[in-house]
Amino acid sequence: MNPGSVGCSVFMSPESETVPILNIVGEIDLSNAPHIYSLMWQTSRKASQPLILNLEKLDFMDSSGLQVLLRLREKLRSKKQDVFLVGPRPQIRKLLKLTGFDKLFPLYETNAQAKLLSKADQAFLGT
């Protein structure tokens, strides 16, 4: 990472054998959004559906970060894989609401809740 550049990391939870959990830690802005998108896609492309994006440790995100979420959602949905968001902080949640993203992405408080309800959704949809 270059000195002074924004920090963000992406990693898959080791517990994610049944439902994959991708953790986003740090900040996303114009400077690192393409790189973060690439990391997220590379990390999640082999996962089975659905994918949980854990945002509990996402400190900052602007419209570039929203663009990353949207692109990932489109890409995964093209192979019939859903994306769920877990635990965004109040300020991030506010941005998601302002943009209507809370209607595009099912939003849960905890990984356990997302796992449970995503399975229920799948059962309901017969997938």
Residues in the site for another protein, rule: CB under 8 A?
A: 2, 4-6, 27, 29-32, 60, 62-64, 66-67, 70-71, 74, 90-91, 94-95, 98-100, 103-104
Taking the complex as a whole, the smallest distance from the CB of residue 35 to another protein amounts, in Å, to: 11
Tell me the H-state helices in the chain: 33-44, 63-77, 90-98, 101-104, 111-125
Rounded to a whole number of angstroms, the minimum distance from the CB of residue 18 to another protein is: 29
Contacts of 35 (CB under 8 A, 6+ apart): none
Nearest-approach distance from CB 83 to another protein, in angstroms: 13
**C-alpha closest to that of 12 among 24, 2, 1:** 24
* Neighbour count for residue 13 (Cβ, 10 Å): 14
